[in-house]
Chain A
Amino acid sequence: MGKYAIITTDTGMFPGVNGMLNALKYYGNDVEFHYLWDGPKAEKFANEIVKDGFFKKFYPIRLRGLMEEGWPKHHKPGEIVWYTMFYRYVYAVRKLLDYDAVSVFDADMQITNNIMQFFEMADKTDLLFMPNNDYSGQEFDECQAKAIKGAASPPLHNMPCFFKPKYFVDVMEEIIPRNYEVEVGGDMTALSHALLKLDVMKKVVPTPNVLWVLSHYYNVRLHKRKIADKLYLTLHHKGDRVNSFHRKWWHDSVCRNFIHQVKEKENRVIAANNINIFWQFTMFFNFELYHTIEWDPKWGVPNKFVEVTLL
């Protein structure tokens, strides 16, 4: 087994980060977790995790100060939340260069499987694994830089990506300059621009959005399954296991808003089913395993999002 790490930056999405930490342990993922934080709440959370000790390889790193090392001039000094998104790639290739493989996850992700084989694939090959972005109308093997405009336009989702840092130094260092030059969208846009500029799209292996991101949360009915005494999320009742899903599903207003964005009645039924399951998984990984968090009332009432109104 190689030396593997997940990198997440966070300024306050504790249900996402805590859920991930619990899930990593629950599914037997043997990885380090580099938690790049900013703000007093995140500091408090980091201290709690360290004190609890349930996740041995948890490394909190304060962003402020660290980001100034080699950082281009801030457009808006002080807006650290925006810049943390870009810094995590730089961190991977500057601070974790000797790691065999790393993965960048957003803080609003929930891991739902053992994902070690993806670290291993990134470790043993020189390939970059990252999900298809199925909001984009473009494909990774045909897109042109001029067509990548706006947050949803890149052919690839930026995370979770898996790569061996030493093979992708140039790409990750190119993300911030690309963002300054292109100035549209966020790190997802900048990453696709960097891949195109350096002509390394051919090293990308798109992973299925439906098993990593679930951007279209209303297209296939998900199932919660108990397999070998563990809880899993599967595509339909006998299907492939979902590795992770994306969005702030712990926020009950997010859940309700997204249901109502789905127009077709049959898709709305699927959306209601799936969003309920996302919520349940987030609750499970925050309240029923190794470390629980203090719940913020602004996220809604935990364990009460059971029925969804299908208006």
Chain B
Amino acid sequence: MKYALLLTDSGFFAPVNAMLNAMKLYGNDGVDFYYLHHDDKATNAFVNSVMKSELADRFVDVTINKYMDDERYYPHREEGHNAIWRLKFYRYLYTIYELQDYDAVAIFDADMVIVNNIMPYFEIAAKTGKLLIPDNDGHGVQWDEMDYTTITQGRCPFHNMPIFFKPANFPEFTEIPAINQANRYGDMPSINYLLLSKNMMDRVIIQNNVQWLFTTRENFPLHKRIINGKPYLSIHRCGDRLFSFHGKWWYADVCNKGVAASNKHPQKELYARNFKLFWQFTRDLCLNYYHTIPWDKRWGDKLNF
């Protein structure tokens, strides 16, 4: 089986590097890591550094500037949106156009961190031929009650990340930019709109949110556990392990402000506990494994809680 993980990045580096390390650390072997980015100095320096590391074998560097004028990749140029915005849509097109021979591809956001072995999900996507997509528990709408109104309001039953699918089975993904052109809410509503408008629900396997995104952060006390010498995150002491989490937790300020904002919440201790673990995991996976990068001062290095 031939698998790939793909993400687009415009300068996040810390979680991207954490994910690169996590792929090796957790035994996610044989997965090509496609890194799609603009051509800029900082990103090129990051890429060059990875290419000199032991992670270079599976690292596929894709500078997208050469595609920017290609009508096939950017059929709908949107005024008022910059290249970073367009990058979000580009990843679906790239997967369908360029990765057709892969048995399964996973698309992650660059502000996610992988914290487990995720290989079975490539296999499930490859062998069922279905789209594995997580529940979006931030919006309160479920897939069997979604309609165009909820989607255009930005209330989506599915999160757009992480998704696993066999590219050859989903040519409809090339329509995502055009759908966005109509509603302009982003790629998450556009994917939801696509699933609804094309009646694709019977081609979907629903992943849970709690293990893949952990959108609602105050519900479980997360625990750090060392298993086989590797760090894992689990919900309560002996509980289910997370596969990944989502958010800009490598920024100390994001954590600090998040805790401050939860000050009056009855579960405020859980916010603090979980934010701290996200912060620690991102830093640990970024700084202490196979490929390391200097910690950028902008990200901050101190939590004040």
User: Does A95 interact with chain B (Cβ within 8 Å)?
Assistant: no
Chain A residues 117-146 with CB under 8 Å of chain B are 117, 120-121, 124-125, 127, 132, 134-137, 139, 141-142
Q: Which of A127, A206, A227, A239 has the most CB of B within 10 A?
A: A239
Are B128's CB and A124's CB within 8 A? Answer: yes
**A305 to B52 Cα, complex, angstroms:** 66
Of the residues B129, B130, B144, contact of A227 by C-beta under 8 Å: B144
Q: A141-B227, A219-B220, A240-B210 are in contact. Are A227 and B145 (CB under 8 A)?
A: yes
Interfacial chain B residues near A121, Cβ < 8 Å: 124, 128, 205
User: Does B182 interact with chain A (Cβ within 8 Å)?
Assistant: no
Q: A117-B205, A132-B240 are in contact. Are A239 and B210 (CB under 8 A)?
A: yes
Q: A141-B227, A208-B208, A211-B208 are in contact. Are A236 and B216 (CB under 8 A)?
A: yes
User: Does A228 interact with chain B (Cβ within 8 Å)?
Assistant: yes
Are A216's CB and B227's CB within 8 A? Answer: no
**A240 to B236 Cα, complex, angstroms:** 17
Q: Which of B120, B123, B211 has the most CB of A within 10 A?
A: B120
User: Does B142 interact with chain A (Cβ within 8 Å)?
Assistant: yes
Q: A121-B128, A139-B227 are in contact. Are A240 and B120 (CB under 8 A)?
A: no
Q: List the interface of chain B (C-beta within 8 A of A).
A: 117, 120, 123-124, 127-130, 135, 137-140, 142, 144-145, 205-206, 208-211, 216, 219-220, 227-228, 235-236, 238-241
- Interface size bucket, A side? 20 to 34
Are B127's CB and A235's CB within 8 A? Answer: no
**A134 to B137 Cα, complex, angstroms:** 23
User: Does A209 interact with chain B (Cβ within 8 Å)?
Assistant: yes
New A-B pairs, 6, CB < 8 Å, besides A125-B120, A239-B137:
A127-B124, A134-B236, A134-B240, A206-B241, A210-B235, A239-B210
**A227 to B240 Cα, complex, angstroms:** 26
Subset of 13 A-B contacts with CB under 8 Å: A117-B206, A125-B123, A134-B239, A135-B238, A137-B238, A206-B241, A210-B210, A219-B220, A219-B239, A235-B219, A237-B140, A239-B137, A241-B142
User: Does A263 interact with chain B (Cβ within 8 Å)?
Assistant: no
Q: A141-B228, A227-B145, A239-B209 are in contact. Are A206 and B128 (CB under 8 A)?
A: no
**Least CB separation from A237: chain B residue:** B140
Interfacial chain A residues near B228, Cβ < 8 Å: 139, 141-142
Are B220's CB and A220's CB within 8 A? Answer: yes
User: Does A205 interact with chain B (Cβ within 8 Å)?
Assistant: yes
Of the residues A124, A219, A236, A237, contact of B236 by C-beta under 8 Å: A219
**A208 to B214 Cα, complex, angstroms:** 13
Q: A253 → chain B, closest Cβ, in Å?
A: 26
Of the residues B123, B140, B227, B239, contact of A132 by C-beta under 8 Å: B239
Interfacial chain B residues near A125, Cβ < 8 Å: 120, 123-124, 127-128
**A216 to B236 Cα, complex, angstroms:** 9
User: Does A238 interact with chain B (Cβ within 8 Å)?
Assistant: yes
Are A240's CB and B124's CB within 8 A? Answer: no
Are B140's CB and A209's CB within 8 A? Answer: no
**A220 to B219 Cα, complex, angstroms:** 6
Interfacial chain B residues near A227, Cβ < 8 Å: 142, 144-145
**Least CB separation from B145: chain A residue:** A228
Interfacial chain B residues near A120, Cβ < 8 Å: 128, 130, 205
Are A238's CB and B137's CB within 8 A? Answer: yes
Q: A136 → chain B, closest Cβ, in Å?
A: 6
Interfacial chain A residues near B135, Cβ < 8 Å: 239-241
**A209 to B205 Cα, complex, angstroms:** 18
Are A235's CB and B210's CB within 8 A? Answer: yes
**A121 to B129 Cα, complex, angstroms:** 10
Interfacial chain B residues near A238, Cβ < 8 Å: 137-140, 216
Are B240's CB and A239's CB within 8 A? Answer: no
Interfacial chain A residues near B227, Cβ < 8 Å: 139, 141-142
Are B239's CB and A216's CB within 8 A? Answer: yes
Are B123's CB and A127's CB within 8 A? Answer: yes
Chain A residues 126-176 with CB under 8 Å of chain B are 127, 132, 134-137, 139, 141-142
Are A210's CB and B128's CB within 8 A? Answer: no
**Least CB separation from A129: chain B residue:** B120
Are A127's CB and B120's CB within 8 A? Answer: yes
**A117 to B145 Cα, complex, angstroms:** 19
Q: A115 → chain B, closest Cβ, in Å?
A: 11
**A141 to B238 Cα, complex, angstroms:** 14
Interfacial chain B residues near A210, Cβ < 8 Å: 210, 235, 239-240
- Chain B proximity mask over A206-240: 1 for CB below 8 Å, otherwise 0: 10111100001001110000011000100111111
Interfacial chain A residues near B144, Cβ < 8 Å: 227-228
Q: Which 6 residue pairs spanning A and B have beta carbons closest together?
A: A228-B144, A208-B240, A238-B140, A240-B208, A134-B239, A124-B127
Q: A120-B128, A134-B239, A238-B137 are in contact. Are A208 and B210 (CB under 8 A)?
A: yes
**A264 to B145 Cα, complex, angstroms:** 37
Q: A152 → chain B, closest Cβ, in Å?
A: 10
**A207 to B205 Cα, complex, angstroms:** 14
**Least CB separation from A132: chain B residue:** B240
Interfacial chain A residues near B241, Cβ < 8 Å: 132, 206
Interfacial chain A residues near B236, Cβ < 8 Å: 134, 216, 219
**A142 to B205 Cα, complex, angstroms:** 29
Interfacial chain B residues near A206, Cβ < 8 Å: 240-241
**Least CB separation from A243: chain B residue:** B208
